[in-house]
Homo-oligomer: A and B are copies of this chain.
Amino acid sequence: MEIIKIYKNYEKLIESELEVRGWIRNNRRQKDIGFIDLSDGTCFKKIQIVYDKDTKDFESIKKIHFGSSIKVIGKLIASPKEDQKFELKAKEVYLIGDCQEDYPLQPKAHSKELLRSIAYLRPRTTLFQAVFRVRSVLSMAIHEYFQKHGFLYLHAPIITASDCEGAGEMFQITTQDLDEIAKSGKVRYEDEFFGKKVGLSVSTQFEAETFAQSFSKVYTFGPTFRADKSHTPYHVAEFWQIEPEVAFCDLEGIMDIAEELVKYVIKYILKHCKDEMEYLDKYVENGLIDRLKKVLKCKFKRVTYKECIDILKKSDKEFEFKPEYGSDIAKEHEKYLTDYFKCPFFLTMWPKELKAFYMKQNEDGTVAGADLEMPGIGEVFGMSEREVDLDKLVSRMKELDMKIEEYEWYIKLRKYGTCKRSGFGIGFERLVMYITGMDNIKDVIPYPRVHKSCDY
């Protein structure tokens, strides 16, 4: 029986004989009695196995290694302890798979750095049981939100010949033998699998726009890639992104959706990952649950870039980067502003020079774009109304010296039944960090891919 089922139905199961299977997270032996914490990963909680001289092969059970998989047959009994409602009194314990002595994990705390170097084993630790369960349930929360609201889930292509927003350096894909190129001194793009130079997608926004212009409401949720060499706690080369796109929707409308989504997924996690969140609150970020609950109570403010610069200029604080109209909002500014508003807020109407070419241009030189700023973390994700006027789009692209011909299909959307349209892009790992309180992106993704590291 799965451990989660025992927790769900223990009142009915007390005094029943059960069989459980799982991995030993602890085996505390005394002379006449032993206690095993057994996890099968179906729920965050472990079950306590009690064995003693009445248990078959008592002495050899004592010797079973930490990390081994076992099968236990026993009786579920009410437990005398206050924080534990039941335990399994073992009749028989069978070793399924031994865990050999060179096992890198031990029943003690390991540094996150060490655990990163054994990414294939770290899901066995309590911390990563919590983090990866939250990640999984959060994915489901996102799908549920969008599907409930009638959005179409779009699987945008990963392999692409277009470079989207020029947002970051792209990884190139090749089927040519590099050594052969070196030897022959010739690159044969025409021999490439796709007959041309292609790479890994950095964003799925443009594909989402094509589908939004027929399904009205669409979202993507898939991996995207940037060959970014930054060594920071916020950067990985491969990450999952969620990019909704909504037709007939302006910036105000998309901010409404962004706010609703953030609140929906927080509620969902607090409801469905209670044990995991309590653990993270206790061991990762004190006050985590309160921080998230506070967000649920706020109405997110909407403040223009100009208003923000005014606030920063008026403040007494000595900033490293002096706030100026036309300059970007630095991390320290974000921090000041989120402290100032004490609530998540949308920072709107940026000077066009600071934002991407596809954002709707206002008459005053700003664009209809916004960043969602959250206390304690700063910018979480950005959104915008799109420039859907063909001429304005093309002239902005020319200003920026972009290769118009590479975006032909994207531009043509504006010729064929164009409409107002807005969307946003959430870096999924950053959202997981925000919700788990984890401070390094490498610790919220199963197998992080970063500069100089592609391991297991």
Give A residues with C-beta under 8 Å from B: 2, 4, 21-24, 39-43, 67-69, 96-100, 102-103, 120-121, 123-124, 129, 132-133, 135-137, 139-140, 143, 147, 150, 152-162, 169, 171-176, 178-179, 181-187, 193-196, 198, 200, 207, 210-211, 213-217, 222-223, 225, 227, 229, 237-238, 240, 247-248, 388, 409-410, 412-420, 445-447, 449, 451-456
Contacts and interface: CB of A to CB of B under 8 A. Distances in A.
A449 to B, nearest CB: 5
B41 A216 contact: yes
22 contacts: A23-B213, A24-B417, A42-B150, A67-B416, A68-B417, A96-B420, A102-B415, A120-B210, A120-B413, A133-B215, A135-B153, A135-B155, A155-B445, A156-B446, A157-B447, A158-B158, A171-B173, A181-B181, A194-B237, A222-B222, A222-B223, A410-B456
Given A40-B216, A187-B178, A214-B123, A240 B194 contact: no
B187 A182 contact: yes
A140 B153 contact: yes
Given A41-B152, A449-B157, A211 B415 contact: no
B2 A159 contact: no
A455 B136 CA distance: 32
Nearest to A419: B69
Contacts of A193: 171, 227, 229, 237, 451-452
A103 B413 CA distance: 10
Nearest to A160: B454
A184 to B, nearest CB: 7
A132 B227 CA distance: 31
Contact of A143 (B140, B248, B454): B140
B140 A147 contact: yes
B237 A416 contact: no
Given A21-B248, A97-B418, A152-B41, A211 B159 contact: no
B99 A417 contact: yes
Contacts of A172: 173-175, 178
Contacts of A139: 143, 153, 155
Contacts of A2: 150, 216
A194 B449 contact: yes
